[in-house]
Structure 1
């Protein structure tokens, strides 16, 4: 269907073998028969739209000749000689060939225009895809910036709230360079840790850091957190209304009910 043989078949420009092949395929495949019908209709419409109206003199001459011949065919003998008939036949044949060539050129021009249109649409589609990707990237960046602003606003709110105490946890001999700031509001029973100012070795996938509150000499679990290179912002831990100290230990991932004192990393008193 894309080889161009169907158009040549409609134009009568195929040899007997090709003609037989097209007709066999049309009988076997309805899609090919439908394509042939569509091509024939397109050719007919093109011929109708480009038909040339004969002049009035030529129309009158033909009509008068028909009336005369109908009156008495024996009265008038053909005026054209054998040589003239051959010449006229040749002229008609050349005109038909010219028409066929015109259809070929018209079809080729339409095909070229179609290919150009498809290429243009494909280029426009690629540009739209690039624009959409850029818009998605900008939207993600905007959302990330908005989240960052909201987080900073929340941090400022905590530091401005007089009910919060900032408890500094210092490193133990296990990790002397470690440090962590804990924001604690006894009245609101809220505990926050500042990851942006945290100094702890990054934990692996099998371990987590666990925050503890020392209440009357007993450790109370306040939840687990991770230390990574991109840790930022403040996270809220479990609630508590009183504590004499806070501490951080390194525990198996998910935390433990009691702290592992051999892995005590940070400690800081509330008073």
Structure 2
């Protein structure tokens, strides 16, 4: 099992937030007890969530405490007035009974407690709802960043794998006079004649146009296909060529053309 892929699968975040299934939880508990890297990833995720909660914490309204104490003081005052107005009977009955007002007093305190709990519950629900939404937004941002990092990693890995292949020649294509800062790279596998192209900093082509790669063979341009900038891979395999003295890229109409438009040439490089 690839531990890095397992960590980046999202299971750690689901585990920390209590969203993992019982089976996933058992498996992760077993793995983390034997793998320090996974255990550290869990600790990092827990710290991240705690940081989010701290940063996005929303305190209950300041007036809530004052309103609650005012309500309690008001009820205390009413109860004191009721107790002072009660007249003690002259004779004591054989079976003394409680006054109606004394029976109502506990009910009033229950009403006060229920009111306090209701207000506190609403405040806490609002607090946790806002915090939860904030955490979801932060997790979505982290997920997007993670995906971007994974794409960048795959891009670098693809280029690294090509560079380290035997008999692969790296040919930088530098900007021409009209586009001096532009750059692309051709990876030419000299045994199989496979050609791979990576656009380093060429701007995104308009919707109706595409970059087209050309090989200069015996002094004549030969089309090696167009580059699809909507593709997931930044390094794309082009048409193979048996021999080439140079490579160049032009900007052409979508789908490519039979002959290059020289004034639309962006980069060129010799083999």
TM-score by length of 1: 0.52
Aligned counterpart, 1:240: 240
Judging changes above 3 Å, is the alpha-carbon distance between structure 1 residues 117 and 174 closer, same or farther for their aligned structure 2 residues? Answer: closer
Deviations 1:135-167 (A, max 9, x none): 343343334333333332322221122321122
Deviations 1:209-236 (A, max 9, x none): 211224453522421255xxxxxx8411
SS at match of 2:260: coil
Distance 1:202 1:151 in 2: 17
Distance 1:177 1:140 in 2: 30
Where structure 1 has 5 or more consecutive residues not aligned to the other structure, the ranges are: 1-82, 227-232
How does 1:1-271 map onto structure 2 within 5 Å? 95-196=99-200, 198=201, 200=202, 203-215=205-217, 217-225=220-228, 234-244=234-244, 245-270=246-271
Judging changes above 3 Å, is the alpha-carbon distance between structure 1 residues 166 and 260 closer, same or farther for their aligned structure 2 residues? Answer: same
Where structure 2 has 5 or more consecutive residues not aligned to the other structure, the ranges are: 1-88
Deviations 1:3-40 (A, max 9, x none): xxxxxxxxxxxxxxxxxxxxxxxxxxxxxxxxxxxxxx
Aligned counterpart, 2:35: none
Q: CA deviation at 1:100?
A: 3.0
Judging changes above 3 Å, is the alpha-carbon distance between structure 1 residues 190 and 152 closer, same or farther for their aligned structure 2 residues? Answer: same
> Which structure: larger Rg?
1
Judging changes above 3 Å, is the alpha-carbon distance between structure 1 residues 148 and 113 closer, same or farther for their aligned structure 2 residues? Answer: same
SS at match of 1:255: coil
- The count of residues paired between Structure 1 and Structure 2 equals 177
Distance 2:154 2:183 in 1: 25
Q: CA deviation at 1:189?
A: 4.0
Judging changes above 3 Å, is the alpha-carbon distance between structure 1 residues 237 and 97 closer, same or farther for their aligned structure 2 residues? Answer: same
| Contact 2:168 2:189 (8 Å CA) reproduced | yes
Deviations 1:39-90 (A, max 9, x none): xxxxxxxxxxxxxxxxxxxxxxxxxxxxxxxxxxxxxxxxxxxx989x98xx
Distance 2:204 2:132 in 1: 43
Judging changes above 3 Å, is the alpha-carbon distance between structure 1 residues 121 and 266 closer, same or farther for their aligned structure 2 residues? Answer: closer
SS at match of 1:237: strand
| Contact 2:221 2:259 (8 Å CA) reproduced | no
Judging changes above 3 Å, is the alpha-carbon distance between structure 1 residues 201 and 110 closer, same or farther for their aligned structure 2 residues? Answer: closer
| Contact 2:251 2:266 (8 Å CA) reproduced | yes
| Contact 1:190 1:236 (8 Å CA) reproduced | no
Judging changes above 3 Å, is the alpha-carbon distance between structure 1 residues 113 and 266 closer, same or farther for their aligned structure 2 residues? Answer: closer
Distance 1:156 1:255 in 2: 29
